[in-house]
């Protein structure tokens, strides 16, 4: 079952849909979507339906799944034709994302829903570290402040630490000369979003 989940359509000369991961991908996609919906429904109990939909879509999108597959080194285990391999198939995001869904289905068919959900939660939780970025707190804060032309927002990088591959940034946001929020993140953009969110909380807008 795992071998089937790792087999690209180009690997089989007969190109039969019964000998590659495509049918498994179809099933795994549904399991992944349901698992993500259930996870975020309970974890983010204060978020409205529209925002939960965006967060789920971000967690199960091709980019997130492909990044997870790349971190796991799944590409090197794929069965595909030499031509597909030479064309970069092992690193193609669309293929990697499809294979993750196929593996989820393989786990489900072999062991049932609970093991499948347990595996599916790994990429979901990995993508969930970017949940804050789904809501654009900077834009929301700017829209509120710009109603008064005399008010000015300014983001200042207050500190950065850690090695190059795992930097941590601290950003402060000022309303005119007043510090109204501080945020941290592994990128300046995420730190700015966190600072804007804190400012909104202080204003009683973001809970």
Mark out the alpha helices in 15-171 (DSSP H runs). Answer: 22-43, 49-59, 62-72, 82-86, 93-111, 113-128, 131-134, 137-145
User: pLDDT category, 125, cuts 50, 70, 90?
Assistant: confident
Mean pLDDT score, 175-182 = 94
CB 98 within 8 A of CB 25: yes
| Catalytic site residue from 25, 29, 98, 192 | 29
* Residue 92 C-alpha from the chain's centroid: 17
Q: Which of 101, 172, 192, 198 is catalytic?
A: 101
Q: Any catalytic annotation for residue 29?
A: yes
Average pLDDT over residues 62-70: 92
Residue 189, pLDDT > 60, answer yes
* CA 49, 51, 53, 56 torsion-angle sign: negative
- On the question of pLDDT at 113 being above 90, the answer is yes
pLDDT of 46 > 80? The answer is no
User: Maximum CA pair distance of the chain?
Assistant: 70
Structure tokens at 76: 């090197």
| Global model pTM greater than 0.75 | no
Can you tell me the mean pLDDT for 154-173? 91
CB-based contact 160:168 (threshold 8 Å): yes
Q: Return the pLDDT at 207.
A: 45
């Amino acid at each position: 079952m795992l071998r089937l989940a790792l087999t690209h359509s180009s690997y089989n000369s007969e190109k039969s849909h019964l000998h590659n991961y495509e049918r498994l991908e179809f099933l795994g996609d549904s399991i992944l979507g349901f698992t993500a919906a259930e996870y975020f429904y309970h974890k983010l109990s204060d978020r409205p339906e529209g925002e939960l939909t965006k967060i789920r879509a971000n967690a199960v999108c091709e980019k997130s799944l492909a990044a997870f597959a790349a971190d796991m080194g799944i590409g090197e285990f794929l069965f595909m034709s030499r031509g597909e391999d030479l064309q970069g198939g092992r690193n193609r995001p669309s293929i990697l994302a499809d294979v993750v869904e196929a593996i989820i289905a393989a786990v489900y068919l072999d062991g049932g829903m609970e093991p499948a959900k347990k595996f599916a939660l790994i990429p979901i939780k990995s993508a969930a570290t970017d949940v804050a970025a789904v809501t654009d707190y900077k834009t929301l804060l700017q829209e509120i402040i710009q109603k008064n032309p005399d008010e000015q927002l300014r983001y200042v990088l207050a500190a950065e630490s850690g090695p190059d591959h795992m930097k941590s940034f601290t950003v402060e946001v000022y309303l005119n000369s007043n510090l109204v929020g501080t945020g941290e993140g592994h990128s300046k953009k995420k730190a700015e979003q966190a600072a804007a969110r804190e400012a909104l909380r202080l204003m009683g807008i973001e809970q």
